Structure 1
């Protein structure tokens, strides 16, 4: 049957034969995945080497291989094969291999130039997975350096091809407008607070009458699928449907069963695993809930977070296209059409939102020390790169310079996240390889199986005593699941399902680990004396060194993790007593992280270099002094503290200095009149007599004294009440002090015989408060600052209240004093009010002389 893609195949073939990159945009159902590969084989493109079809998911890769083989009338494993993690069907005659990006990246480890490969097709590139971006960057580097003959086709249903062509620097953008069959888009907005499964149930009768095929329902996650399955079971049966589930955690056998035709019409409840590349035969209707659960790495806290969020317009179009694969179809969208305007056009590239630990390890193996210099189509955030490198250093995978270590090389041989690779590497030391392989396979394939609140029944354990993980170390949320897997692995009967898949993966991991053992550390002989559960917990500690948490209070479910993030254990967690625990499966959350599975640990399990004892001082506001505590840390996580006697030293000096600076800054304390007055006098002269070159009283002048005082005392008052005036005067030379005292004296002796202070607090206006009777005989105001500034007088009435301001005594005596005398001598007859103040004798207290 002709495909819409057929009209552009000549252009595609011409470019491929000329070894020019092709960037193809074609809508869902156009025939990209199943139409192009058979034509390439027919035209002999395999003469240049093997053809690799890269699919973003394992299910899609297996499905694509089967459909292409069926199109050619062949079986998978001969000319057409597939290679996904822990599952490979290829042979010596295989010319086309459908594989996941992860398998291509691993192939690049062993064959950096892809010498045996002639053409690579990157399918569904619009998904922008981190591994797809890595593959594109590496293929681009190979093509532009050593292998310009390597054919490259980038295929997408929604992305604009021009930016990708620009990134590659050459190539042909090809756009196919055709679609297999039309799809009618219908909007059915959910009611306020209506659950998605209820909206699907309300819509299902209409769908049954509108189409004669199967129904594909897109839901955000497994939890929603389970609820919908329960809600629809009876209704679907009454309408002639059977309900099937499709999501990534299912075993390959279970996934393949859903893709096979059935006797009855089906309602397939799926996550976005069915959004691209997977064709479910017979689907003529799609019900789209419009949301997806997306794992996002929060660089700010260094934790992943599974977020439910609206899908992009591109994803909605992809989903709708599933209804038009085999005949005209209908796509029901459970949101208002107007809401499309608020949806993002495309999904955020995974490189911008994911944990980069495995990516950085892959690049290190390729010798790419500087992650930023790698040819990214969208560079990842530098903070996420730095955090990934920090974790890899803790795991021992790279050195301080970013180069891969021998341990890192062995870890990169494992098709796992570096944490889980480290778990298996450490298991050799603790002699728990098989339980560690089961744990790693479970956390990799289906982490929910290990969650404390998964609701699974308690298992029949494989044995008691040393063979049982849970009996050896009870505070382990993974233990029951691992024990159950050990039991199943010892049974001779063949099993299917998720647990059987985990066991198969674990056996392959064990095989890889044993091949690495020649270079791995030998067993710790003392480990044999410990229960298996405790040994496994110690191996997990080496894999999650940054996920150590301390319980806030005894029996509390709350804790705080390295980095300061608050965490909370699930109510069903077995970690009930351990003061310290590992956060194995954790979601960052809004306020505190939710720990879905945890493992208790003990402080003495930690290596000495990871634990530090520090005597730390801090300021106690209640006593206005320093207190000291002896604290135990694991990285930045406070484990315990004990009060000890505070002794002055360099570290305490910094704490006391910090408290002083909060209050006073780099200035002398302003609670001493003598200090304030001296500073004001200096500033007065600096402003009016710059030629004296008096240095200011600032940080440079007081810092040595301040640091000295803080190093000698633990009480802030001892620093504040020190003899600051002596310290300040010591800043200046003898001659400078003489000039200060001469040109800005702190006081003057007035004619009445008293020593009256001068106030320099008002800039450039030195002022003396004094009664006029004390000034009789002074004909004019004294002058300061090398005679440049006249002293101002605040003249006081007999009651001590300010009466007059003047800096010109001569004018005051002549023009103002007569009126003052007239006004006040009647009210204050005992005071001295002579007619001529210039010749009268001054008095000390203002009274008439006796």
Structure 2
């Protein structure tokens, strides 16, 4: 084996691992840590024949590293060195070094928390901070603490904050390898003339390939940009010796290996890659790097419960990793499609995946591990509380968590965790097996776990993807490699759950039902014009008018959060009958009994709903009387106390009682505000069976208010606060008690002749305010001192009245005159 920079520090690393349970290795890109360290550790005395497990964040890196190490030993993969990645395993009985992807470690830990037979777990390229690498390290730390104090942990990276990792590992020693990097000449390109990123990238690559030797590595955000740049470069006639090849995660292993392989003699290649080639994969022969400076990452929103892919600027550390790819084997050049000023504004490190992703898989793994709260484990970054809470809510909705024992899995939840799929998909598959449609569910799960099989299709109908998988009319638009990969994964899951592939291919009839099982929170009801109401209450829209725009109900598999209405990306129709049958446990029967202001009556309705979606609604024939009474009370409070059938007598009685309360607080308070506040207490016994304002009109408020008084209080009320006063003319005049401080008597002046003193009530404590009226009942004077009126004001009033009413009797001495209710007193 040739010399690599990492060789210089291998003795120090061996010494540290011999003395400590955990170690941090910081090694520059190209130092050789991925392939040298595991081979060196094979003969460590503390390993004692146990296996080495090394995590690689990407499948292509895992396969590549295993092949290289096997070749160094003169062996085939699967002998001393093997790998385990999704859908591909090369492990033999003699394998001592297992290169695995991160999800595989989680499965190993769940099946054997003590990791028996494993001496060390190596976390390679830890700076990428994938969800499963953070989870795997947290679980390994607990295993090391509780079950295996002899288990070694080694965290390797080029750009990670080594001090933070060392602290997490209990003050682990840090070993540093500077590595060897050739100089890279860096150019910043920016300005209005750059245009869209694909055009800028294609022009820059075409120019660079003519000016510099070696192969080119182009970093682009995603597969869509890769396809467009590929098309632009292919149209430029760069030369027969130029080979253009894509490199991204969902390519077949063969296509990925082809992209990273060394160019044939006389050939040059342009590799169009996502961030997959940023650190963990070495693309041989690269001397030119063209970097768009962009990366596409999923961001999860706890507010909406949805994730969306966002194209964001890379971090400064990622930009340096990409730049370094040009100087791995010789001096190189890097073209950055942004300015130096923009570069200074880049964030230092990329955010860990667990800070921006759907945490439902993490929550399921922690529950399977026996941890209800993430704080029970050690993390470099604690999972966000909001996103984790949303994840737990989803697991509850899927029936994975025991309601009586928070944080514990149900038997269904345990089965979900063992499948290793996303919780939504594992729930769907397990439920589908019970219904006899397990094969179709496995195929659908494989489809949804992969990238869109029809990326160019404008239709959001998942059923078209199912048809393409089985050679339907859309099959020509699909990538054959993707079809084989999805079919292979579906077959593996079918074996895992014990079902067979349906003869003649799967049916799409149950697609909506299956999606409703996996995405119960994304059931949608049509509102018109391609717009839908989601179960959560948010809006969603089918982009452009298409067949699913008019569906009554949809089960949505993929939503892009943004704006008022989220965009539906993948969905299938489902009928109301299917929802009622297959989602019966999630349906709520709601009885709504409320006051309807328009009809001034209580309206009773029955609704069958799932979340914010109302499936059925109709009249409720026999509503709960208590609910009816509550609604009637709400109606009275809405309209105010005036909605009740007040009469002059009832209002007068209310005022009389209020007067007594005003002077003696022990009397009942029957003011309008107090009557509203105590409706149930005083009115409740009288409104049973009533449902409208018309019904309320039958109430006798006078009797109801009297019932609030004791017999003694009624006697006192009649005596001290009478309804009428008999005046000297013999007339019984009603007393106005609307102002409890000044009860009033409106009476014609002539009827009071001979009355010397002002009448008083309330045991003589309160004088009556007298409104003296003309013969035509028009007010002429207001007084509460009748004696003074007769002595001082009467004679002026008399002059005026005598002029206007000459036929009436206006005596000079009113105190000696006979009172009369007529024009003149009877003889």
TM-score (norm 1): 0.79
Cα gap change, 1:643 to 1:20, in 2 (>3 Å): same
- Structure 1: 5+ residue runs without aligned partners? 457-473, 489-494, 518-522
For the pair 1:596 / 2:572, whether they are aligned, the reply is no
Q: CA RMSD in A?
A: 4.9
For the pair 1:510 / 2:494, whether they are aligned, the reply is yes
Residue 107 of structure 1 deviates from its aligned partner by: 0.4
| 2:442 matched residue in structure 1 | 437
Cα gap change, 1:323 to 1:663, in 2 (>3 Å): farther
Is the CA contact (8 Å cut-off) linking 1:433 and 1:510 kept in structure 2?
Answer: yes
| 2:200 matched residue in structure 1 | 199
| 1:467 matched residue in structure 2 | none
CA–CA distance in structure 1, aligned partners of residues 237 and 284 of structure 2: 19
Residue 441 of structure 1 deviates from its aligned partner by: 2.0
| 2:509 matched residue in structure 1 | 534
- 5 Å-filtered alignment, 1:481-496, equals 481-484=468-471
- SS of equivalent residue, structure 1 residue 306: strand
Is the CA contact (8 Å cut-off) linking 1:626 and 1:646 kept in structure 2?
Answer: no
- SS of equivalent residue, structure 1 residue 712: coil
- SS of equivalent residue, structure 1 residue 76: coil
Is the CA contact (8 Å cut-off) linking 1:85 and 1:415 kept in structure 2?
Answer: no
Residue 58 of structure 1 deviates from its aligned partner by: 1.9
How many residues align? The count is 807
For the pair 1:354 / 2:329, whether they are aligned, the reply is no
| 1:64 matched residue in structure 2 | 65
CA–CA distance in structure 1, aligned partners of residues 141 and 803 of structure 2: 103
| 1:624 matched residue in structure 2 | 600
TM-score (norm 2): 0.80
CA–CA distance in structure 1, aligned partners of residues 590 and 757 of structure 2: 71
CA–CA distance in structure 2, aligned partners of residues 345 and 785 of structure 1: 89
- SS of equivalent residue, structure 2 residue 150: coil
Deviations 1:466-519 (A, max 9, x none): xxxxxxxx993343123229999xxxxxx97222222222232222222x99xx
- SS of equivalent residue, structure 2 residue 678: helix
For the pair 1:273 / 2:276, whether they are aligned, the reply is yes
| 1:462 matched residue in structure 2 | none
CA–CA distance in structure 1, aligned partners of residues 377 and 706 of structure 2: 62
| 2:122 matched residue in structure 1 | 121
- SS of equivalent residue, structure 1 residue 413: helix
For the pair 1:259 / 2:265, whether they are aligned, the reply is no
For the pair 1:417 / 2:422, whether they are aligned, the reply is yes
CA–CA distance in structure 1, aligned partners of residues 186 and 504 of structure 2: 66
CA–CA distance in structure 2, aligned partners of residues 356 and 692 of structure 1: 63
| 2:453 matched residue in structure 1 | 449
Cα gap change, 1:613 to 1:338, in 2 (>3 Å): same
Deviations 1:509-553 (A, max 9, x none): 222222x99xxxxx9xxx999994435665555444444333345
Cα gap change, 1:691 to 1:450, in 2 (>3 Å): same
| 2:222 matched residue in structure 1 | 221
CA–CA distance in structure 2, aligned partners of residues 811 and 5 of structure 1: 120
CA–CA distance in structure 2, aligned partners of residues 290 and 25 of structure 1: 24
Structure 1, 227-236 or 145-154: larger mean CA deviation = 227-236
Larger Cα Rg: Structure 1 or Structure 2? 2
| 1:549 matched residue in structure 2 | 524
- 1:565 maps to which of 510, 534, 538: 538
Deviations 1:581-634 (A, max 9, x none): 322333344333333333333444424545566665565544333445554445
CA–CA distance in structure 1, aligned partners of residues 70 and 124 of structure 2: 17
For the pair 1:640 / 2:611, whether they are aligned, the reply is no
| 2:484 matched residue in structure 1 | 500
Residue 106 of structure 1 deviates from its aligned partner by: 0.4
Is the CA contact (8 Å cut-off) linking 1:537 and 1:601 kept in structure 2?
Answer: yes
CA–CA distance in structure 2, aligned partners of residues 832 and 62 of structure 1: 124
CA–CA distance in structure 2, aligned partners of residues 75 and 758 of structure 1: 108
Cα gap change, 1:700 to 1:496, in 2 (>3 Å): closer
Residue 724 of structure 1 deviates from its aligned partner by: 4.7
Cα gap change, 1:803 to 1:152, in 2 (>3 Å): farther
- 2:736 maps to which of 738, 757, 776: 757
Deviations 1:157-215 (A, max 9, x none): 44434444444444345666767345555432352893111222343355346643333
CA–CA distance in structure 1, aligned partners of residues 89 and 293 of structure 2: 34
| 2:78 matched residue in structure 1 | 77
- SS of equivalent residue, structure 2 residue 109: helix
Residue 71 of structure 1 deviates from its aligned partner by: 6.0
- 5 Å-filtered alignment, 1:244-393, equals 244-263=245-264, 264-339=267-342, 344-370=347-373, 373-382=376-385, 384-393=387-396
Structure 1, 833-842 or 581-590: larger mean CA deviation = 833-842
Cα gap change, 1:682 to 1:115, in 2 (>3 Å): farther
Residue 97 of structure 1 deviates from its aligned partner by: 2.0
| 1:148 matched residue in structure 2 | 149
CA–CA distance in structure 1, aligned partners of residues 763 and 252 of structure 2: 93
CA–CA distance in structure 2, aligned partners of residues 8 and 824 of structure 1: 124
Structure 1, 245-254 or 613-622: larger mean CA deviation = 613-622
- Structure 2: 5+ residue runs without aligned partners? none
CA–CA distance in structure 2, aligned partners of residues 680 and 285 of structure 1: 96
Residue 104 of structure 1 deviates from its aligned partner by: 0.4
Residue 12 of structure 1 deviates from its aligned partner by: 4.5
Is the CA contact (8 Å cut-off) linking 2:463 and 2:511 kept in structure 1?
Answer: no
| 1:234 matched residue in structure 2 | 235
Cα gap change, 1:670 to 1:617, in 2 (>3 Å): closer
Cα gap change, 1:720 to 1:27, in 2 (>3 Å): farther
Cα gap change, 1:559 to 1:78, in 2 (>3 Å): same
Is the CA contact (8 Å cut-off) linking 1:821 and 1:833 kept in structure 2?
Answer: no
CA–CA distance in structure 1, aligned partners of residues 67 and 744 of structure 2: 103
Cα gap change, 1:535 to 1:208, in 2 (>3 Å): closer
Residue 261 of structure 1 deviates from its aligned partner by: 1.9
Residue 246 of structure 1 deviates from its aligned partner by: 1.9
Is the CA contact (8 Å cut-off) linking 1:765 and 1:792 kept in structure 2?
Answer: no
- 2:690 maps to which of 713, 721, 728: 713
CA–CA distance in structure 1, aligned partners of residues 752 and 22 of structure 2: 101
CA–CA distance in structure 2, aligned partners of residues 644 and 505 of structure 1: 51
Residue 113 of structure 1 deviates from its aligned partner by: 0.9
Structure 1, 205-214 or 774-783: larger mean CA deviation = 774-783
CA–CA distance in structure 2, aligned partners of residues 182 and 128 of structure 1: 28
Cα gap change, 1:713 to 1:825, in 2 (>3 Å): closer
CA–CA distance in structure 1, aligned partners of residues 489 and 328 of structure 2: 34
CA–CA distance in structure 2, aligned partners of residues 735 and 192 of structure 1: 98
Is the CA contact (8 Å cut-off) linking 2:467 and 2:473 kept in structure 1?
Answer: no
Deviations 1:106-154 (A, max 9, x none): 0012211112222222233333332222212211211222222222233
Cα gap change, 1:791 to 1:162, in 2 (>3 Å): farther
